[in-house]
């Protein structure tokens, strides 16, 4: 199989190394990583199963290699390429370029045993970081706004630079939590506020992803046992937790992803909150924070052992509150195991 890659994580999956200026070519049994002299030492020290080629222009060198190889067909993922970059190669070689969307994501859909161990470690580190974050917020967070709390979360999750973050943390209080991807506001944290935190860190480049919604008491932790003063919030929270648990306990290999989505959505709908469940149940997690499989009402993907994805039902009532509970699961021996 012949293919070319431009996305950093897609390249890393192939050869255990990537950087922000690289191009990967697989031409039959040969593989090449093209990059510039800034990365020469690092690339040669870490590369696996490919030859490093240092060059001033990635596209010119790719054209040379393609012409020399005389291959007839090369697969590429249009999502990875700019119009300019692809044009620099396509217009200069007599090769049939075949587009295949999500080419690398499809290859990475079923995780290896080694990858599952890395993802489990990433998730466990994320859980420990959430425990530390709860203690930090209880000690330092009262009266601080979402900007300051988000900054605190970055430091705790990343252990002040030891770990890269999966994405910028979401820290949302009360009505701001009704926005699934909320950005910080000047709202300050006070006792008994509803507090939603969605965050994750990377271990050996693999992401973790976790969300907890809590009642910010003086002793709160980011666990799933929460009590709220508002009966409406409590009902919504209990509904989300029930939906979350139902999916994890009942998903089985062989199910289609839309059936997994229904395991959460049906419960939320029956409780009267259906219109406020405004996103899919989950998404795959790996080198990218969002990858296959997508657990949505439209997905026909069959769930298989080795898949890793989130279960994250939510209820979002505009200008009032939002609730989401999220965990990563791996399919092992036909069932979901929380990582």
Whether the bond between 293 and the residue before it is cis, its omega within 30 degrees of 0, is: yes
Indicate whether 141 and 230 sit together in one domain.
Answer: yes
Q: Which of 107, 123, 156 is the last residue of a domain?
A: 107
- Residue-by-residue DSSP string for 31-73: EEEEE-GGGHHHHHHH--SSEEEE-S-HHHHHHHHHHHHT-SE
Strands (E), 268-326: 282-284, 291-295, 308-311, 314-317, 321-324
Which among 107, 135, 161 is the end of a domain?
Answer: 107
SS3 label, residue 23: strand
* Tally of domains within the chain: 2
Contact (Cβ atoms closer than 8 angstroms) between residue 213 and residue 230: no
Do residues 103 and 118 share a domain? Answer: no
pLDDT at 70: 87
The rounded distance, in Å, linking the Cα atoms of 291 and 49 is 24
Burial class (CB in 10 A: 0-12, 13-18, 19+), 82: exposed
pLDDT in tens, 77-123: 999 999 999 999 998 999 999 999 999 999 999 999 999 999 999 99
If you average pLDDT over residues 193-217, what whole number do you get? 97
Residue 240 sits in the same domain as residue 330: yes
Q: Which CATH number is 120's domain given?
A: 3.90.230.10
Tokens of 339: 């990582």
Residues 331 and 191 in one domain: yes
The predicted pLDDT at position 91 comes to: 87
206 & 246 share domain: yes
Structure tokens at 7: 């996305």
Q: Contact 28/53 with Cβ under 8 angstroms? A: no
Residue linked to tokens 């046992």? 225
Using only C-alpha atoms, the chain has a radius of gyration, in whole angstroms, of 22
pLDDT over threshold 80, residue 313: yes
Let me know whether 49 and 128 are in one domain.
Answer: no
CATH of the domain at 39: 3.40.350.10
Segment 313-324 shows an average pLDDT of 98
What is the pLDDT averaged over residues 169-189?
A: 97
Distance, in Å, from the CA atom of 158 to the CA atom of 107, rounded to the nearest integer, reads 29
Mean pLDDT, residues 60-79: 96
In this prediction, residues 279-301 reach a mean pLDDT of: 97
Strand, coil or helix: 302: strand
Domain co-membership, 41 together with 177: no
Residue 161 clears pLDDT 90, i.e. is over it: no
Give the separation between CA 222 and CA 155, rounded to whole angstroms.
17
User: 256 forms bridges with which residues in the sheet?
Assistant: 302
The SS3 of residue 289 is: coil
Tokens of 39: 């990365």
Per-residue DSSP letter, 112: P
Last residue of one domain, picked from the residues 107, 142, 176: 107
In this structure, are 189 and 49 located in the same domain? no
Q: What is the mean pLDDT of residues 45-73?
A: 96
User: Over the stretch 231-274, which tens digit does the pLDDT of each residue have?
Assistant: 999 999 999 999 999 999 999 999 999 999 999 999 999 999 99
199, burial (CB in 10 Å: exposed 0-12, middle 13-18, buried 19+): buried
> What pLDDT score does 213 carry?
98
Q: Are the CB atoms for 308 and 116 separated by under 8 Å?
A: yes
What is the rounded average pLDDT of the residues 295-314?
98
Q: Are residues 144 and 189 in the same domain?
A: yes
Looking at the fold, whether 63 and 178 belong to one and the same domain comes out as no
Structure tokens at 162: 């030891």
Beta bridge partner(s), residue 283: 294
Instruction: Please indicate, yes or no, whether residues 98 and 209 belong to a single structural domain of this protein.
Output: no
Mark whether 294 and 172 lie in a shared domain.
yes
Please tell me the distance from the alpha carbon of residue 52 to that of residue 103, in angstroms, as a whole number.
22
pLDDT of residue 244: 98
Domain with 303 in it: 113-338
């Amino acid at each position: 199989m012949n293919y070319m890659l431009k996305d950093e994580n897609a390249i890393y999956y192939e050869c255990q190394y990537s950087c922000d200026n690289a191009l990967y070519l697989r031409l039959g049994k040969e593989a090449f990583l093209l990059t510039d002299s800034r990365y020469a030492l690092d690339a040669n020290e870490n590369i696996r199963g490919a030859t490093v080629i240092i060059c001033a222009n990635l596209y010119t060198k790719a054209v040379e290699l393609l012409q020399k190889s005389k291959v007839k067909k090369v697969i590429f993922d249009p999502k990875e390429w700019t119009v300019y970059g692809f044009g620099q190669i396509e217009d200069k070689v007599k090769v049939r370029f075949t587009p295949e969307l999500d080419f690398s994501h499809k290859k990475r859909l079923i995780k290896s045993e080694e990858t599952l161990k890395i993802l489990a470690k990433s998730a466990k580190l994320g859980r420990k970081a959430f425990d530390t974050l709860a203690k930090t917020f209880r000690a330092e967070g009262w009266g601080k706004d979402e900007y300051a709390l988000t900054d605190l979360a970055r430091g705790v999750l990343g252990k002040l630079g030891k770990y890269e973050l999966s994405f910028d943390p979401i820290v949302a209080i009360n009505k701001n939590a009704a926005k699934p991807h909320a950005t910080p506001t000047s709202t300050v944290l006070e006792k008994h506020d509803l507090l939603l935190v969605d965050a994750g860190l990377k271990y050996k480049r693999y992401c973790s992803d976790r969300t907890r919604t809590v009642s910010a008491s003086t002793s709160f932790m980011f666990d799933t046992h929460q009590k709220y003063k508002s009966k409406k919030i409590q009902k919504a929270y209990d509904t989300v937790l029930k939906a979350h648990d139902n999916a994890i306990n009942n998903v089985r290999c062989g199910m289609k992803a839309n059936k997994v989505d229904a395991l959460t959505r049906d419960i939320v709908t029956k409780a009267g909150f259906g219109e406020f469940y405004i996103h899919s149940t989950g998404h795959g997690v790996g080198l990218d924070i969002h990858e296959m499989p997508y657990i949505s009402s439209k997905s026909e993907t069959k769930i298989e052992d080795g898949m890793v994805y989130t279960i994250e039902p939510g209820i979002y009532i505009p200008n009032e509150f939002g609730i989401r509970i999220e965990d990563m699961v791996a399919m092992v021996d036909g069932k979901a195991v929380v990582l």
